[in-house]
Amino acid sequence: MRRKLAAGNWKMNGTREDLAQIDAMLQAHGACRCDLLICPPATLVQAACDRARGSTLMIGGQDCHDQPQGAHTGDISADMLADAGARAVILGHSERRQNHGERNETVRAKTAQAWQAGLMAVVCVGETEADRDAANTLDIVGGQLAGSIPDAATGANLVVAYEPVWAIGTGRVASLDQIGEVHDFIRGRLERRFGTGVGRSVRLLYGGSVKPDNAAQIFGVSNVDGALVGGASLTARDFSPIVAALDAST
Residues annotated catalytic, as ranges: 93, 163
- In degrees to the nearest 10, what's the CA dihedral of 83, 33, 225, 212? -100
8 A C-beta contact, residue 213 and residue 173: no
Helix, strand, coil percentages, rounded to 5, for the chain: 45, 15, 40
Q: Where are the beta strands (DSSP E) in 166-224?
A: 203-206
8 A C-beta contact, residue 38 and residue 22: yes
- In degrees to the nearest 10, what's the CA dihedral of 40, 45, 48, 50? 170
C-alpha closest to that of 233 among 245, 242, 224: 242
Instruction: Give the separation between CA 167 and CA 160, rounded to whole angstroms.
Output: 17
C-alpha closest to that of 165 among 126, 135, 107: 126
